[in-house]
Amino acid sequence: MDYSFKFVDDTLNRQLVALLRRSGARFRVDSKGTIRYSKNDVEFIENDVISRVRTSVFPTWQIISCPSNWAPRYKEYMLQRNVPFVEELIDNQLCFLIPRIYRPHSWKLELARRKVS
């Protein structure tokens, strides 16, 4: 299996697995709940099935994909500004599903305060 996907939210991930089972798509789910699928099925699974779950969360949406060392800054920025988001693992990289109305390329991430431990 060439690709992997997982909603970090277990409820959303279970919904996705149920849709995949009903769709007849070829995939498998590992012990951590990560969905694995081949390059032959990528278009159907990503454009039809995963998109369906994303649209149930936000009617119009976009994905923030960034280097792993930027993900904490994006997350902190969104938390501080009450930007709704859902975490996804796309090929083991943390990404964020957000409503399309936001413009993450204009965000000033350096202004995100660091969490105090």
Domain residue spans of the chain: 3-111
pLDDT attached to residue 8: 98
pLDDT tens column, 70-103? 999 999 999 999 999 999 999 999 999 999 999 9
Computed from CA positions of residues 82, 88, 94, 97, in that sequence, does the dihedral angle turn out positive or negative? negative
State the average pLDDT over residues 39-55. Answer: 95
Residues in CB range of 50: below 8 A, 6 or more apart: 5, 16
pLDDT by residue (tens digit) across 10-32?
999 999 999 999 998 999 999 99
The pLDDT assigned to 109 comes to 79
Rounded Cα distance, 115 and 106, in Å: 22
**pTM, entire model:** 0.89
Half-sphere exposure of 72 (CA within 13 A, CB side): 4
Q: What are phi and psi of 47, to 5 degrees?
A: -80, -30
